[in-house]
Structure 1
Amino acid sequence: MTKLQIHKPENLKLDVIIKPFHEFAKIEASGGLLLLASALIALILANSIFAEQYFAIWHSTFSINLGPLSLSMPVEAWINEGLMALFFLVVGLEIKREFLVGELSSAKKALLPVVAAVGGMMIPAIIYTAFNLGNPGASGWGIPMATDIAFTVGVLTLLGKRIPTPLKAFIVALAIVDDIGAVLVIALFYTTGVSFSSLGAAAIILLALFFANRLKVRSTLVYAILGILLWFAFLKSGVHATVAGVLLALLIPSKPDIDMEDFHSNAQGILNRLDESDKKADVLSNREHQGSILSMEVLTTHAETPMQRMERFLHPWVTFTIVPLFALANAGIPLSNFSTAVTSTVSLGVIFGLIAGKQIGITLFTWIAIKTNLSIMPREVSWRQIYGVSWLAGIGFTMSIFITNLSLASPALAVQSKMGILLASLIGGIVGYLILRTTSASPNKP
């Protein structure tokens, strides 16, 4: 039988930081492929003999009745405002983790991806506005600001060892800062008809979450119940309900009950007791073995933060179910008037914003940050790789489609925007992949 290897406390601490990143990358890469498949299926169905049934499914009404409480919305709205709140909860947990132990945990680490992300949001918004100023689609300026982290990490994974770890960390941090920007844009600029009584209820629930955190309440069930109430309050407030997911994430406890040294010493004690017991005894009949296993289970629960537990549980569901379902419901656009729609100012603004805007914004702002000594180039990363990343950042998809639904009330304009998103994401992904595939990992002079 294989003997358990007990790692040193310092190695455990390092593993706590590194392992989540690798698991995150694996999940996002697989999710990117599933997301692509969902988008293709949606496009095929929307342009097939089943198009009428396809659209009817998403527009049909679904209701939930819990005593005096009743909520009725189209299936598409349940996905976009309900399930996507869980997507934003995971986004919020990822953002929080990056600020605590990741690439955004210190000013020195965070500065370069933050500056690059700011450029990658500002320039696309300006380009889109230049195409649509004074037009009905002007409100969609936030659409080309986003980067789809699942697709982007998926492309990086296809490149394998050609991509140094610091470059992967850079683009993940950049995409997360993009998510922060997108959440702020949604909360501040795409909110209509505010109900202050519902916002007041949301504030009370947030206060309850704050005190639960301060009182070290560790039950994820408590935070889940308060989170559902928070989502409902935001849904009725006029502020987009998905914002509740991010706010909930910020208030989930991020500290364990015991540190790694205590965990190691206690775990070692449990293993020592097992060493002294009859190892050949059946665990079903040996109370000492059962007690040791239960003690280890309790110990690991205390060593893991509620934030980790919630992210570990939700991340696969969001990546493999919710986001593909969102793509299936929202990426299905009729292509009958493709040439007309794709040359509209909305579509052109999205295409040039995501492709040219991301290239200019990310590469230029990164160059300025390094040339002014605000930051330094990540080790093993070349300027050509930064440029390749700027193309990959043009894969807007999930968040861009989400902002399209919020910012463009006209169905015709929304279709034009989605066409632009799909085309720009396809071009950005292919060109970015080719640039990075043919790039040496050794740093180049700018």
Structure 2
Amino acid sequence: MLLAAVVALLWANSPWSAGYEALWKTSASVRLGGAELEMDLGHWVNDGLMALFFFVIGLEVRRELSVGELTRRRRLVVPLVAGVGGMLVPALLYLALNPSGDAARGWGIVIGTDTAFLLGALAIVGPAVSTQLRIFLLTLTVIDDIVAVTVIGVVYSDSIQLGPLLLAVAALLVLVVASRLRVGRASPYVLVVVVLWLATVQSGVHASIAGMLAGLLVPAWAPRRDEVERAASLFQAFRQSPMASVGRSAGRGLARAVSVNERLQSALHPWTSYLVVPIFALANAGVDLRGGLLAEALRSPVTWGVVIGLVGGKFIGIGGGALLAARLRLGEPPQGVGPGQILGGAALSGIGFTVSLLIIRLAFEDTPHLLNEATVGVLLAAVLATALGWVSFQAAAAFHGERSAGLPTALSLPVDPERDHVRGPVGAPLTLVEYVDFECTFCAVTTGVARELQEHFGDDLRYVIRHLPLPDVHPHAERAALAAEAAGAQGQFWAMHDLLFTRQDRLEIEDLVGYASELGLDVERFLQDLDREDLAGRVREDSLSAEESGARGTPTFFVGTERHVGPHDAQTLIRELQARRPGAPG
């Protein structure tokens, strides 16, 4: 995108600048029978390709709301407050410099943040590890994008045509129904989205709002164990019988195991990242700065309204809003992200490139001099925002020691054989710690991985189990963890552990009592121990240590004292453990 923007600027200021203008005014049409859709290339980019870009943004938002970071709504409060501040303050600063006339129409230019440029700048000037800050900024830009697209669709749209608008609403309702029914095939969604886009274009509402709304309505869900197992069996069948029909069945099985939302993201991300956004930059960043335009722009209140709104407004609105919300305990700031890093991210949010340029085209289409001045402001703001972000991150590292913005990776609570449940010699040279949820189907599979590891390493490995019940998704997990601890009080933790993972679909209280009887436990004592506060405190202590160690789901492994990131199949874990064997190279 940066390269495309530079090319656009050089082209627009070269002897061939007339060709640049002529290219984007070239008419192109699609005709089917008597129906025809005709626009110039500039509008095909801004109304067509950018709708696809916002569709992918909508897909990302829906996934985060359904199965990602935003499922815990308390985590949404701080970025929500920051996002609102990051739109209101910039708009007010812009209007303070441009309170009336045609220039006032540009207030929407400063409300958006360019997600792609923001993350690129973060990778260059931000902390070496910035995963948590990245999630915070993505959540923030999601809020920005929703509001910005709404502003585009409502404020900067042409005269509204009722008939096509009703058709667009009908298409949205179809997407709602398909989402509720969890339709797993991608083709029905694609067909409805195309109809929605065509209807929105004809209605006069800017098509970007259709893209965003459509993406928000495509469902996302976590993989279900039965679907994963079915996909594995179909793949095994294809391995044994490599026939076309069996291969198609295996392909459909693999597709069903992943939500349609994530499949569409996977298919469209490369196109939007490496084609759509660069083409947009090429079409919109070309400002002819010759003839004194640059000097004139630097004297224009529109240019400085954009610069101050994006750079100063985002820094104050986002940084101040996030820190104030955290100070008032309205929500939780991201774990591992310090105040200085929040300010650095707020500064980088002043890069408004994509959304800002799109709104400039809509707001100042009939006033070319204001269009050029505002574009200069956006380009200048991108440079200044990046510089301010770098200064903020350097200051945070130098004065507050904020050198990493990722989740913790070290095990916060050391393994204690007197406290922990250990399989294998307590003094073994290798340690593998697993945080489990007895209702998590993927944890049930990793118990087999643990046995394979113990067979491989023998007495050189101690395997440690800790609890991380996830009651929001597994309502029986806490009770099952207490049942394992109650069995452990009678010396049968591992027997109950193994039994619970083979009976994950039957974890009601009467089932747990039956398992205690099956294991020959004192059932009356078992029932009393289920209510013991010290056992409940033990489960809470495990969960707290998981949180402090950066574990966010199950299963999570720690090889030695370091959290394992990546696949957790037996061969991968064997390699990780081998690398930590005393005397291993490196």
Query: Which amino acid is 2:354 matched to?
Result: T
Looking at structure 1, the residues matched to 126 and 249 of structure 2 have their Cα atoms a distance apart, in angstroms, of 40
CA shift at 1:269, angstroms? 4.5
TM-score (norm 1): 0.84
Aligned position for 2:191: 225
> Structure 1 163/342 Cα, relative in aligned 2: closer, same or farther at 3 Å?
farther
CA shift at 1:157, angstroms? 1.8
Q: Residues 243-263 of structure 1, C-alpha deviation per residue, up to 9 Å, x if partnerless?
A: 11112212323247xx43214
Q: Residues 43-98 of structure 1, C-alpha deviation per residue, up to 9 Å, x if partnerless?
A: 00000011011111001111111111111111101111111110111111111112
Looking at structure 2, the residues matched to 161 and 129 of structure 1 have their Cα atoms a distance apart, in angstroms, of 34
2:158 to 183, 186, 192: 192
Between structure 1 and structure 2, the one with the greater Rg is 2
Q: Secondary structure at the match of 2:168?
A: helix
Q: Say whether 1:323 aligns with 2:289.
A: no
Aligned position for 2:577: none
CA shift at 1:102, angstroms? 2.6
Q: Say whether 1:262 aligns with 2:231.
A: no
2:342 to 358, 382, 386: 386
Query: Which amino acid is 1:187 matched to?
Result: G
Q: Say whether 1:431 aligns with 2:388.
A: yes
> Structure 1 429/219 Cα, relative in aligned 2: closer, same or farther at 3 Å?
same
Q: Residues 313-366 of structure 1, C-alpha deviation per residue, up to 9 Å, x if partnerless?
A: 111101100110011000000112101113211111100000110111112111
Q: Say whether 1:50 aligns with 2:25.
A: no
Within 5 Å, give how 1:18-417 maps onto structure 2: 35-159=1-125, 162-255=128-221, 259-267=223-231, 269=233, 287=241, 295-336=249-290, 337-409=293-365, 410-417=367-374
Deviates more, 1:196-205 or 1:214-223: 214-223
CA shift at 1:159, angstroms? 4.5
Q: Residues 185-221 of structure 1, C-alpha deviation per residue, up to 9 Å, x if partnerless?
A: 1123222311111211212222333333344433322
Looking at structure 2, the residues matched to 289 and 218 of structure 1 have their Cα atoms a distance apart, in angstroms, of 24
Q: Residues 283-337 of structure 1, C-alpha deviation per residue, up to 9 Å, x if partnerless?
A: 7xx6268777555433211111111111111111011001100110000001121
Coordinate RMSD, CA, aligned: 2.3
Q: Which runs of 5 or more residues in structure 1 are unaligned?
A: 1-34, 275-282
> Structure 1 199/264 Cα, relative in aligned 2: closer, same or farther at 3 Å?
closer
Looking at structure 2, the residues matched to 272 and 88 of structure 1 have their Cα atoms a distance apart, in angstroms, of 38
Looking at structure 2, the residues matched to 144 and 97 of structure 1 have their Cα atoms a distance apart, in angstroms, of 27
Looking at structure 2, the residues matched to 60 and 416 of structure 1 have their Cα atoms a distance apart, in angstroms, of 24
Q: Secondary structure at the match of 2:393?
A: helix
Q: Residues 167-191 of structure 1, C-alpha deviation per residue, up to 9 Å, x if partnerless?
A: 1211111111111111121123222
- Retained in 2: the 8 A contact 1:394–1:428? yes
> Structure 1 364/62 Cα, relative in aligned 2: closer, same or farther at 3 Å?
same
Deviates more, 1:199-208 or 1:344-353: 199-208
- Retained in 1: the 8 A contact 2:76–2:331? no
- Retained in 1: the 8 A contact 2:297–2:373? yes
CA shift at 1:367, angstroms? 2.1
Query: Which amino acid is 1:363 matched to?
Result: G
Looking at structure 1, the residues matched to 9 and 169 of structure 2 have their Cα atoms a distance apart, in angstroms, of 41
Higher relative contact order structure (alpha carbons within 8 Å, sequence separation ≥ 6): 1
> Structure 1 299/115 Cα, relative in aligned 2: closer, same or farther at 3 Å?
same
TM-score (norm 2): 0.64
Deviates more, 1:244-253 or 1:337-346: 244-253
Looking at structure 2, the residues matched to 61 and 288 of structure 1 have their Cα atoms a distance apart, in angstroms, of 49
Looking at structure 1, the residues matched to 355 and 326 of structure 2 have their Cα atoms a distance apart, in angstroms, of 29
Residue identity (%):
37
CA shift at 1:104, angstroms? 2.5
> Structure 1 435/163 Cα, relative in aligned 2: closer, same or farther at 3 Å?
farther
Aligned position for 1:419: 376
Q: Secondary structure at the match of 2:71?
A: coil
- Retained in 2: the 8 A contact 1:59–1:76? yes
> Structure 1 291/75 Cα, relative in aligned 2: closer, same or farther at 3 Å?
closer
Aligned length in residues: 398
Looking at structure 2, the residues matched to 125 and 62 of structure 1 have their Cα atoms a distance apart, in angstroms, of 36
Q: Residues 8-28 of structure 1, C-alpha deviation per residue, up to 9 Å, x if partnerless?
A: xxxxxxxxxxxxxxxxxxxxx
Q: Secondary structure at the match of 1:70?
A: strand
Aligned position for 1:17: none
Deviates more, 1:336-345 or 1:323-332: 336-345
- Retained in 2: the 8 A contact 1:164–1:380? no
Q: Residues 230-286 of structure 1, C-alpha deviation per residue, up to 9 Å, x if partnerless?
A: 111111111112211112212323247xx4321443355567779xxxxxxxx7xx6
Looking at structure 1, the residues matched to 242 and 120 of structure 2 have their Cα atoms a distance apart, in angstroms, of 46
